[in-house]
């Protein structure tokens, strides 16, 4: 399925960078240089915590990362596809505009902060405050899919976009998310595989059943998830899902007097 992704960008030979011992500034400069030289496929080996990979890049490109990229992967990114063969750290897809990030392993806190477009797929678990303040505008609708569990404050302040938590590979008794789920949410939609205990929810949202339109959207995302990670999407679709919606998109009205 990697090949399918590669075909999306112009076929030129890939540019390989050994990131071993490289400072992030040097690594990112090399990536920018490769892109301006016309390379559209870049493979980074031995990545070990270098930050800001893909920062603000607006050139269409496919970047494959072998190793663990550091914080703020794909921050302000606009278009490229990044595939991480490994775990990710904090702040992936921070204020991302468009593009796709696929993480084979687990990832850290504050993923997709202020993300306004593009897609982030994480196969494993994610940390706190994931999807915080995601927002959409017209055709730009950010999508964040978590294969495993999410920590507390998931979807906090969410103003738009689609957030999915599948909770795969959970140990018995482990909750799908931490508490304060969707607190302050005032736009967008969250899909959960299964249900969460009522007390985990922020006071601004309620649980709903899925309608046909939801299934169309979620079904497509599950197929995509299955494709990326070799998971049987048909199996996933057999499960029960819950939808979280804000009850008002003005959670903070009526607080003030003038």
Partner 1 sequence: MRSLLPPEYIVRIDQDRCRRCGRCVRNCGFGALSFEHSFWHRAKELFQGSTEDLQKVIAHVEEYVPDRVVADNRKCVQCHYCVTHCPEGAINIEPNPLAYKANHYWLPHYQKNIVKQAESGGMILTGSGNDKPYFSYFDHLVLDACQVTNPSIDPLREPMELRTYLGSRPKALEIEQDSDGEPVLKTKLTPQVKLEIPIVFAAMSYGAISLNAQKALAMAAKECGVLMNTGEGGMHRDLYPYADHIIGQVASGRFGVNPEYLERAAMLEIKIGQGAKPGIGGHLPGEKVDEEVSRTRMIPVGSDALSPAPHHDIYSIEDLAQLISALKEATAYTKPVGVKIAAVHNVAAIASGIARAGADVIYIDGFRGGTGATPMIIRDHVGIPIELALAAVDDRLRQEGIRNQVSLIAAGGIRHSGDVAKAIALGADAVAIGTAALIAMGCHVCQQCFSGNCSWGIATQRPELTRHLNPEEAGQRLANLLRGWALELKEILGSLGINAIESLRGSRLRLRGVGLSEQDLEILGVKPAGR
User: Which spans of this chain sit near partner 1 (rule: CB under 8 A)?
Assistant: 24-25, 28, 32, 51-52, 55-58, 71-72, 75-78, 90-91, 94-95, 97, 110, 113-114, 116, 129, 132-133, 135-137, 140, 156-157, 159-160, 184, 186-187, 249-258
Closest distance of CB 164 from partner 1, Å: 20
Nearest to partner 1 of 205, 222 (CB atom): 205
Closest distance of CB 186 from partner 1, Å: 6
Closest distance of CB 114 from partner 1, Å: 3
Nearest to partner 1 of 25, 216 (CB atom): 25
User: In this structure, are residues 135 and 159 in contact, taking their beta carbons and an 8 Å threshold?
Assistant: yes
Nearest to partner 1 of 153, 225 (CB atom): 153
- Give all strands (DSSP E) within 104-186, no chain letters: 119-122, 143-146, 159-165
User: In this structure, are residues 102 and 83 in contact, taking their beta carbons and an 8 Å threshold?
Assistant: yes
Nearest to partner 1 of 142, 147 (CB atom): 142
Residue that has been written with the tokens 């899919």 in this structure: 145
Closest distance of CB 107 from partner 1, Å: 14
Other beta carbons less than 10 A from residue 174's beta carbon: 11
Other beta carbons less than 10 A from residue 192's beta carbon: 23
Q: Which of 7, 105, 115, 96 is nearest to 57 (CA)?
A: 96
């Amino acid at each position: 399925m990697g090949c399918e992704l590669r075909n999306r960008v112009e076929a030129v030979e890939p540019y390989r960078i050994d990131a071993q011992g490289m400072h992030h500034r040097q690594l990112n400069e090399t990536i920018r240089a490769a892109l301006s030289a016309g390379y559209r496929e870049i493979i980074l080996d031995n990545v070990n915590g270098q930050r800001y990979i893909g920062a603000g890049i607006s050139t269409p490109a496919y970047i494959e990362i072998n190793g663990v990229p550091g914080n703020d992967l794909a921050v302000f990114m606009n278009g490229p596809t990044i595939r991480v063969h490994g775990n990710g750290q904090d702040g992936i897809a921070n204020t991302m505009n468009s593009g796709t990030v696929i993480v084979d392993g687990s990832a850290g806190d504050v993923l997709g902060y202020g993300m306004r477009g593009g897609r982030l797929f994480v196969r494993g678990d994610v940390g706190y405050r994931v999807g915080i303040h995601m927002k959409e505008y017209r055709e730009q609708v950010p999508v964040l899919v978590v294969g495993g569990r999410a920590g507390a404050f998931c979807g906090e302040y969410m103003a738009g976009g689609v957030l999915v938590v599948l909770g795969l590979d959970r140990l018995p008794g482990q909750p799908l998310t931490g508490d304060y789920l969707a607190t302050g949410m005032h736009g967008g939609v969250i899909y959960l595989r299964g249900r969460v205990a009522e007390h985990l929810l922020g006071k601004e949202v309620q649980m709903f059943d899925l309608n046909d339109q939801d299934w169309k959207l979620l079904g497509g995302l599950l197929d995509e998830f299955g494709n990326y990670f070799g998971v049987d999407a048909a199996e996933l679709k057999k499960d029960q899902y819950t939808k979280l919606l804000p009850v008002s998109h003005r959670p903070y009205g009526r607080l003030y007097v003038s």
